[in-house]
């Protein structure tokens, strides 16, 4: 026996569920528009810059270590009231720091970040891994931001005094140096001619200097090399810390 | 050939055809567009080529077999069991679930040897929400099909 009430009840249940599904679809689409897309836009517009607050290059058991403290600023396009990404800094597969953007409501200003970099061998790159939590889609996003050598080169060795003393067939180049930040490491000085050819190279194992403490290097060579020297370079491991042109 | 055998052959034939058609609609069009175009489009502003990370295969033999097998089951239910056609959306839910499993619920991990890091994308909440919406829609279809079959059976 056909009962119209049963038919209407079943159709009503079907329509109700269709409406619930449509409502949920509307919520999904609006959430994607209001959270996922702005979060991705903020990530794409994210800018990170840093200032080196302190730096120290030292040698521990034949391994050169750069200890640095940076002041990091991170900005983005839209101020939003939900959670931002967690940013990890990785160097040679080792996590060296974390910045947690708990909310997109204000930019990260002068966040102090201290870490140590092992620069022996290949200095490597510092990578950013951004763990983004945009609601429906969470993901990790990686990009290299700076070479470790760039951080190390902030130590900048400066020549305070340079003179050459000649006695017969022996010339001694005396270079007195200071550095912007403390360096206690094995420093290699390379002398180059006008065409960038290496004329001589000396390693100073006990190199120890800072902005207030000068260190004098004496390079014994021939008068010919002393006369041809146009560039002096300072290296720690494979990293060129400073390069100077001398003479005219 | 008896009447039942004819029905059986017809049901199997329709099941195979429908299985392939629904595989194209669900797996290739809906989820394929979502994974190969919508999600990469969301990531395009970050210059991440997600398509390279996602291991989506347009021709997924185990999923095709499931689609064809379950659609044959649907046609057999429809042909031999009263109100069997109302179960069609339930089998649709099972097929959607199989798609989700084959896509690892939208979770992907990839090791990048150049950087010595493992990257991941987790779109499971998005895919589960879509699944949940389709489940509600399918249950609505169950009621709709029950109503139509009820009317057809009792009015004639």
B133/A37 CB distance under 8 A: no
Comparing CB atoms, the residue among B42, B126, B155 nearest residue A40 is B42
pLDDT at B154: 81
For residues A113 and A69, the answer to whether their CB atoms sit within 8 Å is yes
> Bigger pLDDT: B4 or B76?
B76
Judging contacts by C-beta atoms under 8 Å, the chain A residues touching residue B121 are 137-140
**Min distance B85 CA to chain A CA atoms (Å):** 15
pLDDT band at B58 (very low <50, low <70, confident <90, very high): confident
Q: Where are the domains of chain A?
A: 43-152, 156-245
Residue B61 has pLDDT above 70, yes or no: yes
Judging contacts by C-beta atoms under 8 Å, the chain A residues touching residue B88 are none
pLDDT at A57: 95
DSSP per residue over B68-134, as a string? HHHHHHHHHHHHHSTTGGGGHHHHHHHHHHHHHHHTGGGEEEEEETTTTEEEEEE-HHHHHHHHHHH
**Min distance A134 CA to chain B CA atoms (Å):** 10
Which of A138, A143, A144 is the best mutation test for B, with the most CBs of B within 10 A?
A138
Range among A64-78, B30-44, B113-127 with highest mean pLDDT value: A64-78
Judging contacts by C-beta atoms under 8 Å, the chain B residues touching residue A4 are none
pLDDT at A149: 93
- Tokens 């649709």 correspond to B92
Comparing CB atoms, the residue among A3, A14, A142 nearest residue B143 is A14
CA B19 to chain CA mean position, Å: 10
Comparing CB atoms, the residue among B39, B137, B154 nearest residue A2 is B154
**Min distance A199 CA to chain B CA atoms (Å):** 36
DSSP alpha helix (H) spans, chain A = 4-31, 37-44, 148-152, 223-228
- SS3 at position A138: strand
The ipTM is 0.76
CATH of A43-152, one of 2.60.120, 2.60.40, 3.30.70, 2.40.128: 2.60.40
Distance, CA of A116 to CA of A156 (rounded, Å): 18
For residue B81, the enclosing domain spans 3-155
pLDDT band at B82 (very low <50, low <70, confident <90, very high): confident
A137-179 pLDDT, tens digit per residue, is 888 878 888 899 999 999 999 999 999 998 888 999 999 999 9
> Bigger pLDDT: B52 or A178?
A178
Comparing CB atoms, the residue among A1, A13, A20 nearest residue B143 is A13
pLDDT at B80: 84
CATH of A156-245, one of 2.60.40.150, 2.102.10.10, 2.40.50.140, 3.10.250.10: 2.60.40.150
Residue B45 has pLDDT above 80, yes or no: no
CA B25 to chain CA mean position, Å: 8
pLDDT at A135: 74
- SS3 at position A126: strand
For residues A176 and A159, the answer to whether their CB atoms sit within 8 Å is yes
pLDDT at A67: 95
Distance, CA of B69 to CA of B77 (rounded, Å): 12
Percent of chain A residues past pLDDT 90, beyond the cut? 67
* Domains contained in chain B, number: 1
What residue ranges of chain A have pLDDT lower than 50? none
Distance, CA of B30 to CA of A233 (rounded, Å): 61
Q: Is B30 on the interface with A (CB under 8 A)?
A: no
> Bigger pLDDT: A20 or B33?
A20
Which of A140, A143, A144, A145 is the best mutation test for B, with the most CBs of B within 10 A?
A140
Comparing CB atoms, the residue among A7, A18, A142 nearest residue B137 is A18
Residue B47 has pLDDT above 70, yes or no: no
Task: Decide whether A43-152 matches A156-245 in CATH topology.
Answer: yes
């Amino acid at each position: 026996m056909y009962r119209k009430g049963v038919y209407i009840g079943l159709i009503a249940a079907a329509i109700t569920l269709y409406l619930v599904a449509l409502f949920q679809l509307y919520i999904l689409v609006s959430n994607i528009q209001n959270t996922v897309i702005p979060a991705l836009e903020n990530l794409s517009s994210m800018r990170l810059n840093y200032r080196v607050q302190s730096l120290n290059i030292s040698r521990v058991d034949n391994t050169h270590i750069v200890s640095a403290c940076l002041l990091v600023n991170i900005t983005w396009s839209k101020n939003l009231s939900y959670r931002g990404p967690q940013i990890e800094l990785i160097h040679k597969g080792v996590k060296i720091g974390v910045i947690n953007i708990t909310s997109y409501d204000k930019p990260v200003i002068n966040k102090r970040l201290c870490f140590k970099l092992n620069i022996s061998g290949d200095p490597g790159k510092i990578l950013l891994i951004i763990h983004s939590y945009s609601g429906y889609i969470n993901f990790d996003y990686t990009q290299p931001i700076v070479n470790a050598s760039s951080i190390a080169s902030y130590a900048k060795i400066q020549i305070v005094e340079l003179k050459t003393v000649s006695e017969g067939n022996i010339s001694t180049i005396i270079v007195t140096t200071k550095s912007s930040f403390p360096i206690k490491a094995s420093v290699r000085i390379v002398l180059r001619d006008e065409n960038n050819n290496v004329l001589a190279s000396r390693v100073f194992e006990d190199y120890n200097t800072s902005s207030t403490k000068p260190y004098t290097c004496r390079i014994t060579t021939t008068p010919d090399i002393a006369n041809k020297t146009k560039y002096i370079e300072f290296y720690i491991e494979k990293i060129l810390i400073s390069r100077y042109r001398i003479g005219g | 050939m008896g009447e039942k055998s004819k029905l059986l052959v017809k049901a199997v034939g329709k099941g195979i055809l429908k299985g392939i058609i629904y595989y194209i609609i669900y797996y290739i069009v809906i989820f394929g567009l979502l994974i190969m175009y919508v999600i990469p489009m969301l990531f395009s502003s970050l210059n991440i080529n997600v398509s390279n990370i996602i291991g989506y295969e347009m021709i997924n033999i185990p999923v095709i077999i499931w689609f064809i097998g379950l659609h044959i089951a649907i046609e057999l239910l429809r042909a031999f069991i009263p109100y069997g056609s109302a179960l069609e959306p339930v089998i649709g839910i099972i097929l959607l679930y199989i798609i989700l499993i084959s896509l690892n619920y939208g979770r992907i991990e990839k090791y990048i040897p150049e950087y010595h890091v493992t990257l991941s994308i987790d779109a499971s909440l998005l895919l589960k929400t879509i699944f949940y919406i389709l489940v509600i829609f399918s249950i609505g279809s169950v009621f709709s099909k029950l109503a139509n079959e009820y009317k057809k059976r009792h009015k004639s």
